[in-house]
Amino acid sequence: MNSLPQGSRPNPLFLRDEEIRQGIELLFFAYRDFTSDADAVLARHGMGRAHHRAIHFIGRRPGMTVNELLSILRITKQSLSRVLSQLVTEGLVAQTQGTRDRRQRLLSLTDDGKELERQLSGLQRARVTRAYREAGAEAVAGFRAVLIGLIDETDRETVLATVDKD
Amino acid sequence: MNSLPQGSRPNPLFLRDEEIRQGIELLFFAYRDFTSDADAVLARHGMGRAHHRAIHFIGRRPGMTVNELLSILRITKQSLSRVLSQLVTEGLVAQTQGTRDRRQRLLSLTDDGKELERQLSGLQRARVTRAYREAGAEAVAGFRAVLIGLIDETDRETVLATVDKD
DNA sequence: AATACTACGTCAATATCGCTGACGTAATTG
DNA sequence: CAATTACGTCAGCGATATTGACGTAGTATT
């Protein structure tokens, strides 16, 4: 955009590469600030981002199994286990035995968990809302389209099914 | 989008919140896959993402000082120190004494460092290029506008100066 | 010239979050 | 009954981040 030397005849290949690199950096900076929002709240509760991610997805998909959560987060069960048992111990997440398959432990937020989720997502929602409002509806559509394109083709369907819940 | 129960008269407040939450999740998934690209290459060199970030920004702004890099990455000098001295030891990053202020150590990539940078960014550039091509020019403009809106207002100027170099 | 500040590096201790490997239990499936 | 699956857990490790304290060289101020 405003990176073009005025009046020059830019090499289209260079332009493309420069445009791409700018996108990569914007993604870095936006994500850096975006994730920083919840940290203060988390620190007060003695938790980290891993807890936030678990709380977020359990909140959005109550009744999800441990396996489903694992494949969304793309971490090992050993890693999740630490986080999850902490959340259960502190009364933020409840586990109920699966009905169809009694080996499963269906995950859901307790009232305390919902309250924390609301606190945690508050700042992030405010940030995204502000950015959406400033950029306008068309920009939002483009934003979404590019993000979807950035996701691995193999699990784009799965992700969209998760994002557009039911 | 397709999350609206067909034929219902959706509450605009609910819609807004749902739309925002979808954006938050798309950002998570896109960034998750986006950052996974370089890991294989990094692992072969016995390095992690911290090294990648340092290499990336040094590559884009040769001659930058340690302090500048610190404020971009938003980590402590102790954290950067480990990474940086590793990169210097392995001959990927060169430090030259500042001319204006001889306390400064200006950072730049060696030829080996440039080669690694090229390898590392290759997959990411390919991913972003694909997403841009699929989504189209208008979508890209929207993508950029929203990302800029997500960045902290306080350092939006700084970031844009960094992204649009010179 | 003495003082204060800055840029950078480093030592030490700590926490989070990810990993692998191994083992166990309960429930389901063939 | 045997194999597989869902989940948990113990043990150890590595990468990345943190805070706090200290040192050294160079710059700026008084």
pLDDT digits (tens, 9 = 90+) for A124-148: 999 999 999 999 999 999 999 999 9
Of B18, B16, B27, the closest CA to residue B150 belongs to B27
Answer yes or no: is A9 CB < 7 A from strand C.
no
| pLDDT given for residue B3 in this prediction | 47
Residue of A nearest to B143 (CA): A143
| pLDDT given for residue B164 in this prediction | 75
Contacts of B17 in chain A (CB under 8 A): 125
- pLDDT under 70: residue ranges of chain B: 1-15, 165-166
8-state DSSP, A64: B
- Confidence class for position A4, pLDDT limits 50, 70, 90: very low
Q: Average model confidence (pLDDT) for chain A?
A: 90
Query: How far is C-alpha A58 from the geometric centre of its chain's CA atoms?
Result: 12
| pLDDT given for residue B5 in this prediction | 47
| Chain B contact for A100 (CB, 8 A cutoff) | no
Answer yes or no: is B104 CB < 7 A from strand C.
yes
| pLDDT given for residue B2 in this prediction | 46
CATH says A12-135 is which class? mainly alpha
Cα distance from A70 to chain B (closest Cα, Å)? 14
First to last CA, chain A: 39
The set of residues, in sequence order, having a beta carbon less than 8 Å from that of B56 and lying 6+ positions away, is B117, B120, B121
CA distance A131 to B31: 18
| pLDDT given for residue A2 in this prediction | 47
Contact yes or no for B93/B58 (Cβ under 8 A): yes
pLDDT tens digits, A64-117: 999 999 999 999 999 999 999 999 999 999 999 999 999 999 999 999 999 999
Comparing CB atoms, the residue among B16, B36, B145 nearest residue A139 is B145
The set of residues, in sequence order, having a beta carbon less than 8 Å from that of B132 and lying 6+ positions away, is A19, A20, A23, A146, A149, B139, B140
Of B71, B75, B65, the closest CA to residue B107 belongs to B65
